Amino acid sequence: MPTALITETAHGPRIDAVNDLGRAAGATPGMMLADARTLCPDIAVTPSDPTGDLDFLEKLALWAQRWGPWSALDPPDGVLVDVSGASHLFGGEARLIEDVHTACAARGLAARAAIAPTAGAAWALAHFGAKIGYSECILVRQDDAMRMLADLPVAALRLDSNVLTVLRRLGLKSLGDLAAIAKGGSGLDGNVSEASGRDALKRRFRSKSPTANPLIRLDQLLGKVPEPLLPVIAQTMPLVQRRLMEPIRHRSLLDQVLSDLAADMARELEGKGEGARRLELGLWRVDGEVLVRKLELAAATRDAAHITRLFTNKLEDVDAGFGIEIVRLRASWSEPLALGQGDIEIAAEQHGTSLAACIDRLTVRLGPEAVRRPAARASHIPERAQVWVPPLDHQLASQGTLDFYHRPLKMLDKAEVISVLYASPDGCPQRFRWRGKVREVVRVEGPERIAPEWWRERSSVRLRDYYRIEDAKGQRYWIYRHGLVDDGRGGMPAWYLQGMCA
C-alpha cells in the first residue's frame, strides 16, 4: 500500500520519503502530509528515523568496501566507493556494476550504481542517468564527461533547491546549457556582453559553499576542482569472551569468569592505550536468551578489580536458567588513557579509593541522577563559569577553564550588595559595609573589567569592574562595581561582594 515516512515540524507532519505506490499516487518527499492525504487518502505513515538511517548508511559504507579500498558517506541515501585500480578484479567496470546490483539485491536493497572519474559525475549518473536512457552508467574517460552528461538536468549538480529555482528561471535546465554559459558568450540577460558568461555567473552566485554555487559543482564534476571526501573508517571495539565447555549455573563460577574477562579486557585496553567508559556484559543462556548488563564509568579505566566489583552489583538478579554457555564483555565506549607509573612502595597501596572509583560506586548504588560533579564552562561571567553535570557526562567543558585568571577560593551562591565609600566615582573603594560591619580597605588590586555576554544579554546590561581588596584585619574579598557613571544604562553604579580570597 502507499507508505510514507514523516517528520513532525512546526507546521505539521512533513514527508521525508515515500515508496513507489505513494509516489504514483502523487505524494513526494518534502510535501506536507495534509496535502498528500488529499491526493491519496489511504496513504500509510510511519515516523522516520534519521539516526537509524545514518547508522545503517555507515554500516553499508563499510560493507561496500568489498569493491574498493575506502568509501565515504553521501547522505541521505548514497555511498561513494573508490574503485580506482580495482575494476579488473571483477572483470571490468560493467561486471563490477553487475556485482553491485546482485549483492544489493541479495540483501533486499534497491540500488542504482554508476562509475565515473569524479564523485560528482558518478553521483549525477547514478541519480539521473536512467532518466535519460543510459542503460550502463559508466564514464571511463574524463574527456568524455561533458559530452555524456550534457543532457542531465542541473539538479545533477547537488545544489540547493533555491539555487536550482534561480537556474531554471534563467533558462539553464541542463548541464550542457550551464557549461555553454560558463565557457563564455552571451550574458544571463540574453544580450551579448563584454564580460564572459562565467564572470556573469560569478557575480550572480558568489557563495563559497559548493551547494550554493553551480560553478564550483560544475568544476568538481569535470575534475577541475578537487572535492574532498571523508572516508568511513571502521572502529574495532575491544571485545573478550569465554565459550564455556559446560554451562554454569552458580554465582561463584560466574564471578570467576567475570574476573577473567575483566583481566583480558584490561590487557586489550592497555594494548590500545585506552580506558573504558562504557562496558556491556552479555550472558548467553542455553535456551537462547541473552542477558545484557551495561556499566558506565565516571572516568576512563582499565582496572580489572574495579570493573569486576562494579559488575558484581549488577548480577544479583541474573537468572541462569539451565545454564550460561557464553559470556562476552565489550567496551562500547573508550577514551585514550596514558600509561601510569605504578607505585613501588607497598604502603602506597593503602591510600584508599580514588575519586572516580567512589563516584562509580555511588552511581551504581544510588543511580546516575543522584550524583553530580562540577565542570568548567566557557564563560567569563563568574557565576556562569561552572556547572553541575552528571558524573557520566562525557562532554565536560574543557575550553572554559580560565586558568590565567585568579579567582577566589570561595564564591558566594549569590553576590551580596555592599555599601562603598570611594574618593571618585570611578575610583577604588576605601571603606564598605557588609553584613552590618564596616571594614577599612588597606590594599586594593584591580580593576578587572568583565563585559556582559552580548550574544546572551540585552544591550542595556552594565559592565563589571572587579577588585581584590584587603581590610585592616587581613581578610581579603572579591568585590565588583556594577556599571559606570553616565554609561546611559541606569542610575548610579551598585557594589557587590561575590567571593572570599585567600
Q: Tell me the per-residue pLDDT of 97-129, one tens digit each, with 9 for 90 and over.
A: 999 999 999 999 989 999 999 999 999 999 888
Question: Does 353 reside within a domain?
Answer: no
Question: Does 303 reside within a domain?
Answer: yes
The reply to whether 62 and 39 lie within a common domain is no
The neighbouring-strand residues paired with 294 are: 280
The reply to whether 138 and 157 lie within a common domain is yes
Kindly list the strands in the beta sheet with 3-9, ordered across the sheet, starting from the edge strand earlier in the chain.
Answer: 12-18, 3-9, 44-47
The reply to whether 44 and 81 lie within a common domain is no
The reply to whether 397 and 496 lie within a common domain is yes
Pairing outcome for strands 239-248 and 78-82: unpaired
Q: Tell me the per-residue pLDDT of 426-456, one tens digit each, with 9 for 90 and over.
A: 778 888 889 888 888 988 888 888 888 777 7
HSE value, Cβ hemisphere, 13 Å, CA-based, for 110? 3
The reply to whether 63 and 33 lie within a common domain is no
Pairing outcome for strands 373-376 and 70-74: unpaired
Number of domains in the chain: 4
C-alpha cell at position 449: 573589567
Mean pLDDT (whole number) for 14-42: 90
Which helix (H) or strand (E) is 448 found in, with range?
Answer: strand 437-450
Could you tell me which residues come within 8 angstroms of residue 493 by beta carbon, excluding any fewer than 6 positions away? Answer: 425, 462, 481, 482, 483, 484, 485
Domain of residue 146: give its range: 56-222
Question: Does 347 reside within a domain?
Answer: no
Question: Does 370 reside within a domain?
Answer: no
Question: Does 230 reside within a domain?
Answer: no
**How far apart are the C-alpha atoms of 280 and 261, rounded to whole Å?**
12
Q: Is the pLDDT of residue 358 over 90?
A: no
Is the distance from CB of 488 to CB of 499 less than 8 angstroms? Answer: no
Q: Tell me the per-residue pLDDT of 74-97, one tens digit each, with 9 for 90 and over.
A: 988 899 999 998 889 999 998 999
The reply to whether 412 and 396 lie within a common domain is yes
Could you tell me which residues come within 8 angstroms of residue 222 by beta carbon, excluding any fewer than 6 positions away? Answer: 118, 121, 142, 145, 146
Q: Which residues of 3-22 are buried (b: 16+ CB within 10 A; e: fewer)?
A: ebbbeeeeeebbbbbbbeeb
pLDDT: which is higher, 220 or 461: 220
**How far apart are the C-alpha atoms of 240 and 242, rounded to whole Å?**
7
Q: Which residues of 264-275 are buried (b: 16+ CB within 10 A; e: fewer)?
A: bbbebbeeeebb
**How far apart are the C-alpha atoms of 481 and 498, rounded to whole Å?**
11
Mean pLDDT (whole number) for 137-166: 85
The reply to whether 323 and 252 lie within a common domain is yes
The reply to whether 418 and 449 lie within a common domain is yes
Tell me what pLDDT residue 403 has: 47
Sequence-ordered alpha helix ranges (H) in 279-338: 304-312
Instruction: Give yes or no for a cis peptide into 382 (omega within 30° of 0).
Output: no
What is the band of 392 on the pLDDT scale with cuts at 50, 70, 90? low
The reply to whether 33 and 162 lie within a common domain is no
User: Own/partner pairs for 16-25, CB < 8 Å, 24+ apart?
Assistant: 16/48, 17/48
Tell me what pLDDT residue 134 has: 66
Mean pLDDT (whole number) for 212-234: 89
Tell me what pLDDT residue 344 has: 40
The reply to whether 192 and 253 lie within a common domain is no
Q: What is the residue type of 65? A: Q
What is the band of 317 on the pLDDT scale with cuts at 50, 70, 90? confident
The reply to whether 185 and 288 lie within a common domain is no
Locate the DSSP E strands across 208-250: 239-248
**How far apart are the C-alpha atoms of 5 and 181, rounded to whole Å?**
39
